[in-house]
Amino acid sequence: MRCKTLIFAIISIHIISFPTLSQEPIVNKFTDISRKNAFLFSQQEIASEEMTKYDVKSYFLNVSVNDTSTYIVGDVHVFSEVVEEGMSEFVVELIPDMTLDSVFVDQKKRTSVREGDLVKVSLESVPSVGENLEVRFFYHGTSPMAGFFSGMSNKEDGTWNKKVTYTLSEPFSAKDWFPVKQDLADKIDSVKVYITVPNGLMAGSNGLLQNIVDDGHGNTRFEWESHYPIDYYLISLSVSDYREYNVYAHPDGITDSVLIQNFIYNDDEYLNQKKQEIDESAALIELYSEKISLYPFYKEKYGHCVAPMGGGMEHQTMTTLSSFSFGLVAHEMGHMWFGDNITCATWQDIWINEGFASYTEYIAEQNLRSQEAANSWMENAHKLAKERPQGSVYIPFEDADDVNRIFDYRLSYKKGAAIIHMIRFELDNDTLFFDILKEYQKRFGGKVATGLDFKGVIEDLSGKDFTVFFDQWYFGKGYPYFTLGWKQRNDSLLITSLETVSSAETPFFQMPLELKVEFTDRDTLIRIFQTEELQDFSFKLSGSITNITVDPNKWSLFELNSISYIEDMPDSNVPYNIFPNPAIDQVNIDFYGKAAPHKITIMNLAGKEIMRLDSSEPILVINIRELASGAYIIQVTEDGNNWNSRFLKE
């Protein structure tokens, strides 16, 4: 779901890493407590333990609504199978605003008790495991409107003078308009949504429109039916003065076409203005079918219902949206694969929905617009993600019921997309990357999945261990900062790289960075792979280097402090030892007992002098308490010879 109104050509070069003065790699110091918490706390809580004792097989919603209010009259059948012994009552959720008129279990009227949002229906006897139940609810009421995440809303589009009643049940608001079991893990097999509206209106929903019936009393019933697995919050309706405008996609893999059924405002000018944008939906389905897998609901349809909602919602096979802008349609359609076909197993793993759907925007820009447009999209995603320097893509357990945290645009959407892009970069093989997306759809299509499920697919197909990556980027917080220096020495490019971080909870990011090295007559791309806070790299390169650009193709999420030419790079063989390194209050230089005159200069990585002193002591103690944290170069001069070393001030 996208919500705009939340309040809320690589050249392979051998890399020689020469000795540095920093200590062992930091990556093993990163605690994996977040990853462990994912195992311990990822089971989604539901409203009542009694609801775990049955699985919903299908819903049949027979409702009456209009385009002027959120008043609804409902007759809803819940077909389920008992999966645990000892079910003493049948429990669903339905807000108190809805008046419950009567309840039937297997066509026999039963009594019910209401406790808050829970409806507890008495059973004639304790059902056996495997027994099927049909529970039918008759109800009516006006669904309250409380912002973007209201279960049912009624608004007027002032531009086109159209009133619309529409639903948005994600994440916890299906209960606002029909009796429901709100459990992500319990995908249903099929759904029927019959919507009766005043004559002249149209009603859109999931699946195929099987029939349109005039009841002879001034109303029309639109009968929709879907036979793909669907999660509770993806069931929808939208009612307005619509007209139907259809286009067709022709993805590879099927002989027939995919219907793209659009319920748009009944206005000639609306169609004139939006037709070109709507028509582009076909190219998106064809692209995603090629890159990710065949459109998962191709036997039914893809569609749109227009509503003045300030964004869009990926209702399965029938997105509700406010406009047909390229990015919005690309995002919501991407959800058909990520969010609908594969659904997050818990709201903590909303990345499965929103991070991936956001990344399909990048794929669309890259393939249907230009690489420059895609780079611009990713650059903006990085900018927004960095506005949450303490943020994690994985939702902490204590925030799993906070709607604004779940749908944090900067974390769940933009940082979520950025880390998928970095996975693509680390794989360094586009064929493999898209094969992983295809395998992911194959394994988990029609089911729910976690971030660790996707990690498993990556590792199975790539043969690489992504534990560190997920610890850092998925469960970890923040992002790194880099300060780089470089020098060309004969036929070698020497690079020094210092990494710091935005959040102390993730003390290091082990990661690659791409650099564009510019010569007088050509450009070349190289990669460094940071495994320590302070690290040196050496490349054999001929020609005169004029400039170096960090991450020119917008692969990685980080902040660049600076990159500069350094006249004096650290030497690998020096006649002294610097300790401790990193240092806090003082740094010591041990000249191995040699008491000779030395000139000592401390510089920052840009070569600016910070401190100068003379000494003839065999061991020199330097007070660095007043120095800012960061990396420094120590230059030692003896008998006209200069040596450069480096230390890290914590």
Per-residue pLDDT at 456 exceeds 60: yes
DSSP string, 460-517: HHH----HHHHHHHTSS-S-EEEEEEEEEETTEEEEEEEEEES-TTS----EEEEEEE
What local confidence, expressed as pLDDT, does residue 1 receive?
60
In a domain, 25, yes or no: yes
Work out the average pLDDT over 33-60.
73
What local confidence, expressed as pLDDT, does residue 508 receive?
96
In a domain, 592, yes or no: yes
307 near 322, Cβ under 8 Å?
A: yes
pLDDT digits over 635-645, tens only? 899 888 888 88
pLDDT range class, residue 287, cuts 50, 70, 90? very high
- Residues 497 and 617 occupy one common structural domain: no
Angle, helix 281-291 to helix 268-279, in steps of 10 degrees:
20
- Residues 600 and 508 occupy one common structural domain: no
The single residue listed with the structure tokens 């645009």 is: 409
Work out the average pLDDT over 539-560.
96
In a domain, 349, yes or no: no
- Residues 557 and 593 occupy one common structural domain: no
- Residues 561 and 581 occupy one common structural domain: no
Sign (positive or negative) of CA dihedral 346, 230, 437, 553: negative
Work out the average pLDDT over 141-153.
91
Work out the average pLDDT over 565-576.
73
What local confidence, expressed as pLDDT, does residue 44 receive?
56
Per-residue pLDDT at 12 exceeds 80: no
- Residues 204 and 69 occupy one common structural domain: yes
Work out the average pLDDT over 317-338.
98
CATH number of the domain within which 16 lies:
2.60.40.1840
Q: What is the rounded average pLDDT for all residues in the chain?
A: 91
Domain that holds residue 491: 9-36+480-565
3-state SS class at 610: strand
- Residues 559 and 581 occupy one common structural domain: no
Tally of domains in the chain: 3
54: how many CB neighbours lie within 10 A of its CB? Answer: 25
What local confidence, expressed as pLDDT, does residue 604 receive?
86
Work out the average pLDDT over 340-360.
98
Report H helices in 225-353: 268-279, 281-291, 326-334
Residues listed for the chain: 650
Work out the average pLDDT over 428-450.
98
- Residues 246 and 329 occupy one common structural domain: yes
Dist. CA 99–CA 111, nearest whole Å: 14
What local confidence, expressed as pLDDT, does residue 521 receive?
93
Q: For residue 423, give both structure tokens.
A: 């996975």
What local confidence, expressed as pLDDT, does residue 29 receive?
35
The secondary element (H helix, E strand) that includes residue 320 is strand 319-321
612 near 623, Cβ under 8 Å?
A: no
Dist. CA 31–CA 37, nearest whole Å: 11
Beta strand 302-306 pairing with 319-321 = parallel
Give whole-number Cα distances, 161 to 155, 266, 504, in Å. Answer: 10, 10, 52
Work out the average pLDDT over 217-245.
98
What local confidence, expressed as pLDDT, does residue 571 receive?
64
Work out the average pLDDT over 539-558.
96
CATH number of the domain within which 245 lies:
2.60.40.1730
| Residue whose C-alpha is closest to residue 248's, from 286, 291, 206, 207 | 286
Sign (positive or negative) of CA dihedral 532, 533, 537, 543: positive
Work out the average pLDDT over 480-500.
91
329 near 264, Cβ under 8 Å?
A: no
What local confidence, expressed as pLDDT, does residue 401 receive?
93
pLDDT range class, residue 568, cuts 50, 70, 90? low
Per-residue pLDDT at 514 exceeds 90: yes
pLDDT range class, residue 20, cuts 50, 70, 90? very low
In a domain, 437, yes or no: no
3-state SS class at 38: helix
- Residues 136 and 183 occupy one common structural domain: yes
Dist. CA 334–CA 314, nearest whole Å: 9
pLDDT range class, residue 24, cuts 50, 70, 90? very low
Residues facing 181 on adjacent strands: none
* Maximum CA extent, the chain: 108
| Residue whose C-alpha is closest to residue 267's, from 251, 243, 290 | 243
pLDDT range class, residue 255, cuts 50, 70, 90? very high
pLDDT digits over 355-374, tens only? 999 999 999 999 999 999 99
- Residues 302 and 329 occupy one common structural domain: yes
- Residues 495 and 634 occupy one common structural domain: no
| Residue whose C-alpha is closest to residue 232's, from 300, 181, 296, 193 | 181
What local confidence, expressed as pLDDT, does residue 579 receive?
85
| Residue whose C-alpha is closest to residue 492's, from 61, 11, 13 | 13
Alpha-carbon Rg for the chain in angstroms: 30
pLDDT range class, residue 23, cuts 50, 70, 90? very low
Dist. CA 224–CA 310, nearest whole Å: 26
pLDDT range class, residue 569, cuts 50, 70, 90? low
In a domain, 644, yes or no: yes
pLDDT digits over 577-636, tens only? 888 888 899 998 888 778 889 999 998 877 789 999 999 988 899 999 999 888 888 989
Counting residues of the chain whose pLDDT is more than 70, the rounded percentage is 92
Supply angle C-alpha 282, 284, 288, rounded to 5.
Answer: 125
Strand blocks (E) in 227-283: 238-240, 242-249, 258-265
Q: For residue 544, give both structure tokens.
A: 């005169």
3-state SS class at 529: strand
In a domain, 441, yes or no: no
What local confidence, expressed as pLDDT, does residue 31 receive?
41
3-state SS class at 37: helix
76: how many CB neighbours lie within 10 A of its CB? Answer: 21
Residue 511, Ramachandran bin (φ over 0: left; ψ between -120 and 50: alpha; else beta): beta
- Residues 117 and 152 occupy one common structural domain: yes
What local confidence, expressed as pLDDT, does residue 27 receive?
37
What local confidence, expressed as pLDDT, does residue 155 receive?
97
Sign (positive or negative) of CA dihedral 437, 438, 442, 446: positive
Residue 91, Ramachandran bin (φ over 0: left; ψ between -120 and 50: alpha; else beta): beta
pLDDT range class, residue 139, cuts 50, 70, 90? very high
3-state SS class at 307: coil
CATH number of the domain within which 631 lies:
2.60.40.3080
Last residue of a domain, one of 288, 315, 344: 344
Phi/psi of residue 626, nearest 5 degrees = -85, -5
Per-residue pLDDT at 195 exceeds 70: yes
Supply angle C-alpha 291, 527, 392, rounded to 5.
Answer: 65
Work out the average pLDDT over 195-212.
98
Least confident piece of the model among 41-50, 306-315, 370-379, 503-512: 41-50
Say which residue, 575 or 30, is predicted with more confidence: 575
3-state SS class at 181: coil
Per-residue pLDDT at 231 exceeds 50: yes
pLDDT range class, residue 489, cuts 50, 70, 90? confident
Work out the average pLDDT over 385-403.
96
Give the global pTM. 0.87
Phi/psi of residue 600, nearest 5 degrees = -120, 125
What local confidence, expressed as pLDDT, does residue 8 receive?
29
- Residues 25 and 151 occupy one common structural domain: no
What local confidence, expressed as pLDDT, does residue 650 receive?
85
Last residue of a domain, one of 565, 598, 622: 565
